[in-house]
């Protein structure tokens, strides 16, 4: 068991008002309390308060008039009452009021009737804990089995906490927010979607496996994205021809959450280790990019003429590319380099790196770097990913 402690987060404090999204239990409220100890907090998980503001959003304006202009205001779970953003907009226009808008879902905030503050608030995302935040408590085996969502990481029984987490997600995000009409169908969909973690997602095949209509499954995948549980990683497409378009890959945000969704919380099996490691590194890359702007775009690379060849992550910064291939094996072999060797045909590839679970750092004759996982984590923490 990891002792309960405070972990400093990578996220830097944005200027002015901002949205901060993240899955439930990611630590948004804790971070906001630490950054704004004297803030006025409007907690929309307080059901009575939420219902009052749903019925009469203008009550927020009256509340704000009683506060000093310089006192920041935190709206927690703002997606529960989207109409409050109209009052927030008016308050920002009227004076130097700073708002911190926390949310675990963007679903209801993306409707055409929702006021997203017309660029007056920046958008940030808080991810599960990454090694740079965990420090000496980082344990790869523990992360791959139970994940690193703070509310689970700090639990005395992470297995029970994960099971409860998925139930909370269904109860609070899906049922309470009425995001789906057919809850049993969505519950059938979740474990099937979890099996697609790290794979190119074919909606027709996913619908068939979940015994649900294709259009319904498309909506369900959208819910996973809007509630921040999963992300679709696009294929790199230098020529945007419809005939050549590849399916995106589905990555869940946390290894523990995806394992809980498919009710598989025992020791990590060899058959799932590769996808779990790959998906976790994708989250680590996104977390560091949120803090340090390491890249402008990220995709996976797979040439059409070689169906079995690909590179897990292709990062773009300016006109240059960095190719990353992730292997869960503790031993390196040259057979693992096929994708990184094929990607040399792409112009302006500044660095090709294979990351594995061994200890030795190597370099091939054609310039491919072979890094232990720790080398990648150190490069990300030190801002030295690019040559």
- Whether residues 140 and 258 fall in one domain: yes
Residue 208 has pLDDT above 60, yes or no: yes
Name the pTM for this structure.
0.93
- φ, ψ of residue 231 in degrees (nearest 5): -135, 145
Residue 1's pLDDT is: 42
> 168 or 7: whose pLDDT is higher?
7
Residues 350 and 229 grouped into a single domain: no
* DSSP state, residue 235: B
Q: How many CB atoms lie within 10 A of CB 363?
A: 10
* pLDDT given for residue 107 in this prediction: 75
Does residue 139 sit in the same domain as residue 118?
Answer: no
Residue 289 belongs to some domain of the structure: no
Shared-domain flag, residues 247 and 311: no
- Looking at the structure, tell me whether residues 139 and 274 fall in a common domain: yes
Distance CA 256, CA 260 (A): 6
164 and 258 share one domain: yes
Among 72, 105, 125, identify where a domain stops.
125
Mean pLDDT of 20-36: 95
- pLDDT tens digits for 275-315? 999 999 999 999 999 999 999 999 999 987 666 789 999 99
Q: What is the pLDDT of residue 321?
A: 97
- Burial 252-276, CB ≥16 within 10 A → b, else e: bbbbbbbbbbbebbeebeeebbebb
Q: How is residue 150 written in tokens?
A: 């703070």
pLDDT for 2 beyond 60: no
Are 135 and 272 part of one and the same domain?
A: yes
Mean pLDDT over 200-224 rounds to 88
Domain annotation covers residue 165? yes
What average pLDDT score do residues 137-147 get?
A: 97
9 occurs within a structural domain: no
Q: Does pLDDT of 114 surpass 60?
A: no
Residue 32 lies in a domain: yes
Contact, 122 vs 98, CB < 8 A? no
Given a cut of 90, whether residue 110 has pLDDT beyond it is: no
Interval 41-58: pLDDT, tens? 999 999 999 999 999 999
Which tokens hold the place of 385? Answer: 């990913």
Residue 318 lies in a domain: yes
Verify that 266 and 313 share a domain, yes or no.
no
Summarised one tens digit per residue, pLDDT across range 60-93 is 999 999 999 999 999 999 999 989 998 998 898 8
Helical pair 183-195 and 214-226, crossing angle rounded to 10 deg: 80
Q: Which two tokens stand for residue 380?
A: 């990300």
Sign of CA dihedral 304, 307, 309, 310: positive
pLDDT at 170: 77
156 with 272, same domain: the answer is yes
pLDDT tens digit sequence for 324-336: 999 999 999 999 9
CATH number at residue 155: 1.10.10
- Check which CATH number belongs to the domain holding 116 and give it: 3.40.50.300
Contacts 24+ apart (CB under 8 A), 261-270: 261/166, 261/190, 261/191, 261/193, 261/194, 262/190, 262/191, 262/194, 262/195, 263/191, 265/145, 265/146, 265/159, 265/162, 265/163, 267/145, 268/141, 268/144, 268/145
Tokens 């919380």 identify what position?
A: 265
- CA angle 202/207/212 to nearest 5° reads 165
Mean pLDDT of the chain: 90
Higher pLDDT, 122 or 353: 353
Domain match, 111 and 136 both: no
pLDDT score at 235: 93
Q: For residues 274 and 113, which has the higher predicted lDDT (pLDDT)? A: 274
Q: Tell me whether residue 321 is in a domain.
A: yes
One domain for residues 93 and 143: no
Report which DSSP code applies to 238.
Answer: S
Residue 267 pLDDT = 95
Residues 228 and 307 in one domain: no
Band of residue 116 on the pLDDT scale cut at 50, 70, 90 = low
Distance between alpha carbon 22 and the CA centroid of its chain, in Å? 7
Q: Is residue 145 part of a domain?
A: yes
Q: Please say whether the beta carbons of 342 and 236 come within 8 A.
A: no
Please say which residue of 105, 125, 145 terminates a domain.
125
Mean pLDDT of all residues in 181-208: 89
What domain range includes position 346?
Answer: 294-381
- Residue-level pLDDT at 309: 81
In angstroms, how far apart are the furthest CA atoms of the chain?
Answer: 69
Structure tokens at 243: 């005939």
Q: Are 311 and 343 in contact (CB under 8 A)?
A: yes
Last residue in a domain, options 218, 244, 278: 278
Kindly indicate the confidence band of residue 25, based on its pLDDT and cuts at 50, 70 and 90.
very high
What are the angstrom distances between the C-alpha of 370 and each of 49, 132, 274, 363? Answer: 55, 21, 17, 6
What one-character DSSP code corresponds to residue 67? S
- Domain tally for the chain? 3
Q: Is residue 344 part of a domain?
A: yes
């Amino acid at each position: 068991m990891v002792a309960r402690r405070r972990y400093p987060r990578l996220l830097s404090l944005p200027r002015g008002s901002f949205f901060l999204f993240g899955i439930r239990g990611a630590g948004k409220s804790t971070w906001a309390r630490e950054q704004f100890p004297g803030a006025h907090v409007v907690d929309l998980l307080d059901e009575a308060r939420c219902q009052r503001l749903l019925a009469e959003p203008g009550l927020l304006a009256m509340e704000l008039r009683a506060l000093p202009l310089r006192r920041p205001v935190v709206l927690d779970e703002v997606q529960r009452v989207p109409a409050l953003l109209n009052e927030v907009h008016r308050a920002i226009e009227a004076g130097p009021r700073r708002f911190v808008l926390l949310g675990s879902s963007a679903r209801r905030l993306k409707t055409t009737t929702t006021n997203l503050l017309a660029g007056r608030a920046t958008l940030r995302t808080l991810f599960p804990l990454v090694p740079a935040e965990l420090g000496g408590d980082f344990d790869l085996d523990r992360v791959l089995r139970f994940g690193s969502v703070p509310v689970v990481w700090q639990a005395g029984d992470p297995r029970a906490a994960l099971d409860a987490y998925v139930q909370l997600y269904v109860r609070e995000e899906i049922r309470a927010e009425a995001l789906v009409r057919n809850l049993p169908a969505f519950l059938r969909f979740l474990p099937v979607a979890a099996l697609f973690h790290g794979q190119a997602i074919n909606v027709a095949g996913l619908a068939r496996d979940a015994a649900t209509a294709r259009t319904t499954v498309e909506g369900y995948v959208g819910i996973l994205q809007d509630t921040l549980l999963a992300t679709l990683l696009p294929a790199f497409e230098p020529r945007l021809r419809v005939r050549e378009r590849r399916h995106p890959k589905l990555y869940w945000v946390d290894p523990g959450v995806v394992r809980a969704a498919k009710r598989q919380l025992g020791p990590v099996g060899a058959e799932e280790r590769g996808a779990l490691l790959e998906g976790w590194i994708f989250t680590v890359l996104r977390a560091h990019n949120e803090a340090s702007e390491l890249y402008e775009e990220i995709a996976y690379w797979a040439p059409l003429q070689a169906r079995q060849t690909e590179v897990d992550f292709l990062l773009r910064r300016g006109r240059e590319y960095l190719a990353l291939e992730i292997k869960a094996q503790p031993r390196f072999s040259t057979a693992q380099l096929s994708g990184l060797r094929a990607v040399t045909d792409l112009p302006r590839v500044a660095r090709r790196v294979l990351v594995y679970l061994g200890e030795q750092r190597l370099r091939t004759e054609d310039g491919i770097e072979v890094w232990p996982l720790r080398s990648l984590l150190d490069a990300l923490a030190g801002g030295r990913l690019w040559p």
